[in-house]
Amino acid sequence: MDSVYDRALVEIGNNNRYQKQYDILYNVGLVLLWSMVYTNIILCLTIVPHMCKIPDNSENITEYSWKQKNIPTYIDIAGEVHFDSCLLFTSTDNHNHTKDCNDFVYDKTWYESTVSTENNWVCGNELYVANILSFSKIGETLGSIVFGWLGDAWGRRPTLLLSLFMIIAGRFLSLIGKNSYIIFMIGCIISAFPSWSVPQSASLISVEFSSSSRRTVITTLRFASYSIGMALMALIFWGLRDWKLLLIATTASLMPYLFLCWKLIESPRWLHTRGRNKECVRALKLIAEKNRMNLTAETEAELLMSIPDVDKSVNPLILFAGKRLALITILQIILWACITLNYTVLVLRAGEKSDGNPFVNFAWQCVVEVPSNFIGAWLADSIGRRKTGAISNLITAAMWAIILLRDTTSISLIRHWLFSSIIVIIGRLSIFVSYYALSLFSIELYPTGLRQTGMAYGNIISSCASAVAPYILFMGRRYDIRVPAIILTIASIIAVASSLLLPETLNVKLPETLEEAQNFGKRSKAYEPTDIQAKDNLLPLQEIKK
């Protein structure tokens, strides 16, 4: 039987004008602008091609010959000769000794300036970039825990406001302290700490005053806006060319939402569960007025008199209760780590690992995420979750193997920028399909009371894996260009095996109790296929991007 709150939603309209206007303003507009601020730091920290600054040509020789007299060369694993980016000969006549560069010349074909070029965070200081990105992800991990609790304790609206303020303040602090490694990092951590609380809080408010049939629409809008916002951010940087202008433009665009969210209603469902029934009724009446409907006196009276049920806390270690449930949890943790590592490295390298336009390349990779939800849903319901996860991770492994071949060969076709872009775009799509299958597993393999806990594990592991990703790229730049592709090919193969070891959940009766979860997947009449599609109770993927 529906609760009094659910009946109230029907009376005031749970799929009407107010809900649709809210979606446009917050699940599309806010998320799109937020995603630009959330991801702008990736391109701002791009390490562009660089070379040591050499004295003016004082001899009557060609510029190339003058470079040869000042800069050592090396042969890469593809057999091509390159000038060293970080070393100089001690003198033009002595080629037996080298020294580190103090000044650099940067390629300004695409970027007029980045944080790295402005502060010379290259060569020996390149680790600064990896540290900033990594510590930001660690802050994001802690913030997901803290702001998840604040959202339930304080409410959705104040949490959203605080998150917006911290993100904006952190970005401007980084801008003010642009020449200080410590201040810049502190600003990035402040911005990252509440980062995913913004789209989550906005979506929760929407979900909690809308019909259940609108949940997939809300989630699709949210994540499509996220991907499109990332693409727009790259194109804006293409036009501005300067990282400071990008940071100012994207961050300032988010500021009006501080005032809009100040006038935003609190989630009436949250108010109801907290026993704040008078405030709940006021919020419902406001929605009813916008929808041109009415809350009946009987329902209002029942709402005011109702006493909400108090949720009981669940011990997160219970996911490891019993061998089978523990195995399922461990396999999913491995999947979260491997898939997130693939995604984060691909995003971080998108702005610099391109022989063509890095901004267009970055934008295309973001746009391809939009249809991945639909492809993932179709595959998961056609061939099952296990095969979808295994095939998509296998494609990702093939992508990294081709990238490894590209970095170690001189074959013109494989090294052509268009071929490379197509391969990476296919890989980006396959990674998101993997995420979709994994999100279904996380919801379907756990009983109802433990599904949120299972997703929380995924969020934490994802953020930890994201913190490792910058160092993988660092090793590729500083030690061996093959390192990232080798590591991620192995990770993708491990993800294939993990997907195949999980039990299939397509058209299968889902576990409702801990005992059923511990026996899920065993041959039993209790788990024979049913006519009910599991997808009817699911949200699309990217809850993982918290």
Instruction: Give the pLDDT confidence of 237-254 residue by residue, as tens digits.
Output: 999 999 999 999 999 999
Q: Please compute the mean of the pLDDT values over residues 199-217 and round it to a whole number.
A: 81
- Is residue 356 domain-shared with residue 486, that is, in the same domain? yes
pLDDT digits (tens, 9 = 90+) for 13-49: 988 999 999 999 999 999 999 999 999 999 999 988 8
- Is residue 359 domain-shared with residue 434, that is, in the same domain? yes
- Is residue 400 domain-shared with residue 359, that is, in the same domain? yes
Confidence of residue 539 (pLDDT cuts 50, 70, 90): very low
- pLDDT at position 329 is 84
One-letter identity of residue 540: P
- Is residue 80 domain-shared with residue 199, that is, in the same domain? no
Range of the domain at 192: 17-49+107-256
How far are the Cα atoms of 106, 120, 187, 367, 489 from residue 241, in angstroms, in the given order?
14, 17, 22, 21, 34
Q: Residue for token digits 């303040």? A: 169
Higher confidence at residue 451 or residue 228?
228
Answer yes or no: is pLDDT of 538 > 50.
no
Residue 243 located in a structural domain = yes
Higher confidence at residue 123 or residue 443?
123
Q: How many folded domains does the chain comprise?
A: 3
pLDDT digits (tens, 9 = 90+) for 361-376: 888 888 888 888 778 8
| Contact status, residue 132 vs residue 188, Cβ threshold 8 Å | yes
Q: Of 135-149, 342-356, 379-393, 449-463, which range is least confident?
A: 449-463
- Transcribe 329-343 into DSSP letters: HHHHHHHHHHHHHHH
- Is residue 22 domain-shared with residue 163, that is, in the same domain? yes
Residue 536 located in a structural domain = yes
- Is residue 502 domain-shared with residue 471, that is, in the same domain? yes
- Is residue 28 domain-shared with residue 94, that is, in the same domain? no
Distance CA 439, CA 155 (A): 26
Dihedral sign, Cα of residue 363, residue 365, residue 368, residue 369: negative
- pLDDT at position 75 is 80
Please give the backbone phi and psi of residue 104, each rounded to the nearest 5 degrees, phi first: -130, 155
Query: Which of the listed residues 88, 105, 122 is the one where a domain comes to its end?
Result: 105
- Is residue 44 domain-shared with residue 116, that is, in the same domain? yes
- Is residue 91 domain-shared with residue 135, that is, in the same domain? no
Q: What is the CATH number of the domain that holds 128?
A: 1.20.1250.20
- Is residue 248 domain-shared with residue 317, that is, in the same domain? no
Confidence of residue 488 (pLDDT cuts 50, 70, 90): very high
- pLDDT at position 43 is 92
Residue 455 located in a structural domain = yes
pLDDT digits (tens, 9 = 90+) for 221-240: 887 898 899 999 999 999 99
Listed residue (393, 403, 401, 399) closest to 339, CA to CA: 393
Residue 267 located in a structural domain = no
- Is residue 225 domain-shared with residue 329, that is, in the same domain? no
Residue 384 located in a structural domain = yes
- Is residue 381 domain-shared with residue 475, that is, in the same domain? yes
Higher confidence at residue 209 or residue 355?
209
Average pLDDT, whole number, for the chain? 83
Q: Of 178-182, 279-283, 375-379, 469-473, which range is least confident?
A: 375-379
Residue 206 located in a structural domain = yes
pLDDT digits (tens, 9 = 90+) for 74-127: 887 667 788 888 888 888 777 788 888 888 999 898 999 999 999 999 988 989
Listed residue (194, 136, 200, 127) closest to 464, CA to CA: 136
Answer yes or no: is pLDDT of 533 > 70.
no
- Transcribe 168-216 into DSSP letters: HHHHHHHHHTTT-HHHHHHHHHHHHTTTTHHHHHHHHHHHHTS-GGGHH
| Contact status, residue 184 vs residue 177, Cβ threshold 8 Å | yes
Query: Which of the listed residues 192, 223, 256 is the one where a domain comes to its end?
Result: 256
Please give the backbone phi and psi of residue 49, each rounded to the nearest 5 degrees, phi first: -55, 135
Residue 6 located in a structural domain = no
Listed residue (9, 541, 471, 3) closest to 267, CA to CA: 9
Query: Which of the listed residues 216, 240, 256 is the one where a domain comes to its end?
Result: 256
Joined together, the tokens standing for residue 401 give: 């193997």
- pLDDT at position 545 is 38
Q: Of 155-164, 278-287, 303-312, 482-491, which range is least confident?
A: 303-312
Q: Of 134-138, 452-456, 493-497, which range is least confident?
A: 452-456
* Spacing of C-alpha 89 from chain mean position: 43
Residue 323 located in a structural domain = yes
